[in-house]
Chains A and B, each alone.
Chain A
Amino acid sequence: GQQLNQSPQSMFIQEGEDVSMNCTSSSIFNTWLWYKQDPGEGPVLLIALYKAGELTSNGRLTAQFGITRKDSFLNISASIPSDVGIYFCAGRNYGQNFVFGPGTRLSVLP
């Protein structure tokens, strides 16, 4: 089946640093979603993107819908300990189901 690639696979950062991660697809999408999953919990939606080039913020999080429609980016500014978790991207095209990436595992060091 179709798969998304996320990079990096995992990252360790110091508290207060900014974080960047991305998600790429071999197909074009018309919707990108970014989720965060805490240990033992279900994914929680962070940001939804519906238009190529769109830049959307949710507090310290900013996500962009790539202009090629084959990628998306998530940035976290001034990281804090509660940012720890796994960040998933998901994409879909019209009439199709969402495809999920394998996730980026974020660890924040105090």
Chain B
Amino acid sequence: NAGVTQTPKFRILKIGQSMTLQCAQDMNHNYMYWYRQDPGMGLKLIYYSVGAGITDKGEVPNGYNVSRSTTEDFPLRLELAAPSQTSVYFCASSDTSGGYNEQFFGPGTRLTVL
């Protein structure tokens, strides 16, 4: 199993540009999440999905969009990049069957908006 994979690993955007951060998992997990990590801060939840076709906002959703057309993929879209979106983005997945809900994380995408 590859676990949770994310692409790209690094990206520099200009203000106003758009991009999609890719996330895929091969563990057949029903739940998937997008977090951002700012220096010295805990992970902040952007969006999450409890299954294909279902998404919901987290704590900091403004400026982002997501879709979940398959169980495996959960891309994060930035439409008009702003400097405040400079951060490290982590995708995670979990399988909530049996009451266990440990989240497994991808390696992250480091995004800089100039």
Place the interface of chain B in its size category.
20 to 34
| Partner pick for B42 among A31, A42, A102, CB 8 A cutoff | A102
| Partner pick for A42 among B44, B59, B100, B106, CB 8 A cutoff | B106
Question: A92 to B42, Cβ gap below 8 A?
Answer: no
Question: Which of A31, A41, A43, A102 counts the most B-chain CB atoms under 10 A from its CB?
Answer: A43
CB of B2 to closest CB in A, whole Å? 13
Residue B104 lies at the interface, judged by CB distance under 8 Å to chain A = yes
Contacts of A4 in B (CB 8 A): 42
CB of A31 to closest CB in B, whole Å? 7
Residue A103 lies at the interface, judged by CB distance under 8 Å to chain B = yes
Q: Which residue of B lies closest to A44 (CB)?
A: B105
CB of B85 to closest CB in A, whole Å? 18
Question: B41 to A102, Cβ gap below 8 A?
Answer: yes
Q: Which residue of A lies closest to B42 (CB)?
A: A100
Question: B48 to A45, Cβ gap below 8 A?
Answer: no
CB of A9 to closest CB in B, whole Å? 8
Contacts of B59 in A (CB 8 A): 1
Question: A100 to B108, Cβ gap below 8 A?
Answer: no
**Which residues from chain B sit less than 8 Å from chain A, CB to CB?**
4, 33, 35, 40-45, 48, 58-59, 90, 92, 99-108
Nearest 7 pairs of A and B residues by beta carbon:
A42-B105, A100-B42, A100-B43, A1-B59, A102-B42, A43-B105, A42-B107
